[in-house]
Structure 1
Amino acid sequence: MPMMDHGKDFLSWVDPDTSLKIFKCLDDPADLVRVSCVSRSWRGFVVANGLSKQLCLRMFPQLSRVACVVELNQDGVKEHTEVGSSHSNECLALWKDHRVYSYLARSCSSPVDTDCIAKAIGASSTDNFPQESIDHTLEERDNIAGRFSYWSSSGQSNPNVPETLTYQLASQICVITEINIQPFQAHFQMGSPIYSAKSVRFKMGHLKASLDDLTDVFVWTYTSPEFPMAQENRLQKFKLPEPVLCIGGILQIELLERVQSQEMDGLLYICISHVQALGIQLSPAFSVDILGPSGKFVLKRDHMGNCQPPVTSENESGAALTDRDFQQIVTILRGHVMGVGAVDGWEEMEYEVDDFDEDNAF
């Protein structure tokens, strides 16, 4: 093969299928952005083949449920698209997808890990409310003002009866990499027993579009493998096999099998002193709208938003549930189902206006 001339674009020498295979080998979002900056032809190839979207789908299969993406302006309003030929509209849609997915991929690759839990929703049972409420699991200290801080299940004679702890995450869309749980050790009881579970499993999902069906108010889009739990008084780390994109901001922890009985009544309990869900919060830069029973959703990118540290106020717009939703869920869980006791520093790539040519877009 004759030597290529200096400056010759290899895309003109290699067939499109081979070029596509080469570009798909890039699994770092930053590399894909750099490739897009090499030349207009490379950028056009990346955009026309939806490589940013394909990379996001490889990173997070949950994105296969995206019905469409929307960009919001500084007022939080959907950006207007000019009416034109079908070809120009298709090109504009590809550019929009590229911008949204490239920024999403880069945001999801941030090394920042924070505790993403905002508040407790409910537990499948509570032994003594509010003294042993699930709310205590959000407190890192296991002793506050001389009182032990922990959640306790009700007692059971059957060790196979599971328990669940359900939480609202601080961001409506976030990446969860690791969940940490500390079993409670009852130093005030004979022998200082540790009330751990034998194993744990995690579910993530969103609130159902309608709360009319009281049998289950959540839709789970991810279920983890089962992890063994040690009967030890320490913060135990359960790293997920792959980072999970939680769409809808609901986390449920399943505590499977009881191992410790209480001496005074002979019943088996599970008690937890602290829970963390480590990951990356993507709101307010990103938000979602769940589209009813279909389970699909609209992915929205706010140009004025950046991925921020944890939401500290329950009234922040980035929270997954409104106060009305939250109170309705807690009421349902208490009364029917669950017996509840009470890319910082990264600027997204900008494109010049003359990069888009309706007649020769790519």
Structure 2
Amino acid sequence: MSMMDHSNDFLSLIDIDTSLKIFKCLDDPADLVRVCCVSRSWRHFVVTNGLSKQLCLRMFPQLSRVASVVELNQNGVNGQTDVGSSQSISPALQKDHRVYSYFANSCLSPVAVDCIAKAIGASSTDNFPQESIDHTLDERDNVAGRFSYWSSSGQSNPNVPETLTYHLTSQICVITEINIQPFQAHFQMGSPIYSAKSVRFKMGHLKASLDDLAGETIPKKRDNLADESEKYVWTYTSPEFPMAKENRLQKFTLPEPVLCIGGILQIELLERVQRQEMDGLLYICVAHVQALGIQLSPAFTVDVLGPSGMFVLKRNHRPNCQPTVTSENESEAIITDRHFRQIVTILRAQVMGVEPMDGWDEDEYEIDDDFDENNPL
């Protein structure tokens, strides 16, 4: 065949395995949305083969711990009416497609914010509360006439590590980088900088249910959490990053964006490099900490199912849980009837290897009567 006819669909010309390999080359969630708009057969192929879920798993391996997905309707009740759905696709597959498609798109926000809500505690503190971990969340170097920083207790062994543990702003969020500024003690002779030699990051959740995170059982802020590590399940551990002995906010970009399930971040400060002249002991001191990323709550929440680490992913459809459309992305936020037809024409030309058509095949690409342009998935 020298050229495919306009009416031919390449999915009908090749085997399923080859079709899957082609569609799995789509690494942008928006591409899968556009593909679903080409025709009912294409949407059926995407949904029944769980391609949105597979894309999310490639983006975030942590999602392999998802036991099930739940949609909460406008009243916050489990259950969501299928919009523009096909009778030939099971409700469970359609639900998975909607949830994972929306999840993937939500993780692509270009704006990163500081996702640390508050401090849980440090493995040690030299002078509490004057040198508390709380000071690491204040961007000011000087507060009420005092230097603002956290200091570990002194050690003679340089290999004794320290940890700083934080509660993030969301039960589920994407972290891309962590920034740390070592503290420089200008009030000491020589203005020494009490950095660590390297850092490592862990993310995870409490071994108890995440419902505890919203109640009174959240770990209380402590000046010594050396014996509390067993309370957490770490679902991600970063590589070790070298830290410079410099008084500046140092940027540690993670190899890949990390999906933090449970909202707990721990910073490991490894190997002491600065000795205090006064007592001859080695200390680590930190002035500022940031964890930059994307907050996914309240549109998404999670329920951890016991110590196994498996969890339920919940998509909340209530009005106050929807993302705000800004002027920057407003023109791309909604696929209208006109956009729908333009996308189909362009994609048919690109996929079939032919010039764009002048006409429109209403029978093959008829828009569902109940198609919702605000929720094309």
Partner AA of 1:124 in structure 2: S
CA distance in 1, matches of 2:324, 2:168: 14
Q: Which residue in the other structure is 1:336 paired with?
A: none
Q: Which residue in the other structure is 1:70 paired with?
A: 70
Deviations 1:27-82 (A, max 9, x none): 01111111111111111110010000000000000000000000001121111689
Residue 72 of structure 1 contacts residue 300 of structure 1 at CA under 8 Å; is this kept in 2?
Answer: yes
Q: Which residue in the other structure is 1:266 paired with?
A: 280
CA distance in 1, matches of 2:149, 2:368: 56
Q: 1:226 aligns with which of 240, 253, 271?
A: 240
Residue 307 of structure 1 contacts residue 344 of structure 1 at CA under 8 Å; is this kept in 2?
Answer: no
CA distance in 2, matches of 1:124, 1:186: 21
Deviation at 1:16, TM superposition (A): 1.3
Q: Which residue in the other structure is 2:297 paired with?
A: 283
Deviation at 1:209, TM superposition (A): 1.5
Deviation at 1:179, TM superposition (A): 0.2
Deviation at 1:354, TM superposition (A): 6.0
Q: Which residue in the other structure is 1:306 paired with?
A: 322
Residue 123 of structure 1 contacts residue 164 of structure 1 at CA under 8 Å; is this kept in 2?
Answer: yes
Residue 255 of structure 2 corresponds to residue 256 of structure 1: no
Change (3 A) 1:307 1:217: farther
CA distance in 2, matches of 1:215, 1:223: 14
Residue 281 of structure 1 contacts residue 307 of structure 1 at CA under 8 Å; is this kept in 2?
Answer: no
CA distance in 1, matches of 2:62, 2:309: 11
Residue 44 of structure 2 contacts residue 89 of structure 2 at CA under 8 Å; is this kept in 1?
Answer: no
Q: Which residue in the other structure is 1:294 paired with?
A: 308
Deviation at 1:293, TM superposition (A): 1.9
Deviation at 1:145, TM superposition (A): 2.4
Residue 284 of structure 1 contacts residue 308 of structure 1 at CA under 8 Å; is this kept in 2?
Answer: no
Change (3 A) 1:349 1:73: farther
Report the secondary structure of 1:216's partner residue. helix
CA distance in 2, matches of 1:222, 1:53: 20
When the two chains are superposed, the root-mean-square deviation of aligned CA atoms in Å is 2.5
CA distance in 1, matches of 2:129, 2:235: 31
Q: TM-score, normalised by structure 2?
A: 0.79
Partner AA of 2:261 in structure 1: I
CA distance in 1, matches of 2:231, 2:127: 24
Q: Which residue in the other structure is 2:350 paired with?
A: none
CA distance in 2, matches of 1:221, 1:204: 6
CA distance in 2, matches of 1:240, 1:214: 25
Partner AA of 2:20 in structure 1: L
Change (3 A) 1:217 1:274: same
Report the secondary structure of 2:102's partner residue. helix
Deviation at 1:307, TM superposition (A): 4.6
* Pairing of 1:1-16 with structure 2 (within 5 A): 1-16=1-16
Partner AA of 2:52 in structure 1: S
In structure 1, the gaps of 5 or more residues are 310-342, 356-362
Deviation at 1:107, TM superposition (A): 0.7
Change (3 A) 1:352 1:273: farther
* Pairing of 1:147-296 with structure 2 (within 5 A): 147-209=146-208, 216-296=230-310
CA distance in 2, matches of 1:20, 1:67: 24
Residue 107 of structure 2 corresponds to residue 108 of structure 1: yes
Q: Which residue in the other structure is 1:57 paired with?
A: 57
Report the secondary structure of 1:140's partner residue. coil
For the pair shown, the structure with the greater C-alpha radius of gyration is 2
Deviation at 1:308, TM superposition (A): 7.2
Q: TM-score, normalised by structure 1?
A: 0.83
CA distance in 1, matches of 2:324, 2:171: 12
Deviations 1:256-276 (A, max 9, x none): 000001110000000000000
Deviation at 1:223, TM superposition (A): 0.1
Residue 283 of structure 1 contacts residue 307 of structure 1 at CA under 8 Å; is this kept in 2?
Answer: no
Deviations 1:186-229 (A, max 9, x none): 00000000000000000000011278x96611110000000000
Partner AA of 1:45 in structure 2: F
CA distance in 2, matches of 1:61, 1:198: 29
Partner AA of 2:245 in structure 1: Q
CA distance in 2, matches of 1:123, 1:308: 36
* Aligned residues with identical type, % of pairs: 80
In structure 2, the gaps of 5 or more residues are 210-216, 218-226, 337-366, 372-377
The runs of 4+ residues in structure 1 deviating greater than 2 Å are 87-90, 306-309, 343-355
Residue 151 of structure 2 contacts residue 285 of structure 2 at CA under 8 Å; is this kept in 1?
Answer: yes
Deviations 1:93-112 (A, max 9, x none): 00100000001101111111
Partner AA of 1:16 in structure 2: I
Residue 199 of structure 1 contacts residue 256 of structure 1 at CA under 8 Å; is this kept in 2?
Answer: yes
CA distance in 2, matches of 1:216, 1:26: 40
CA distance in 2, matches of 1:214, 1:123: 10
Partner AA of 1:115 in structure 2: D
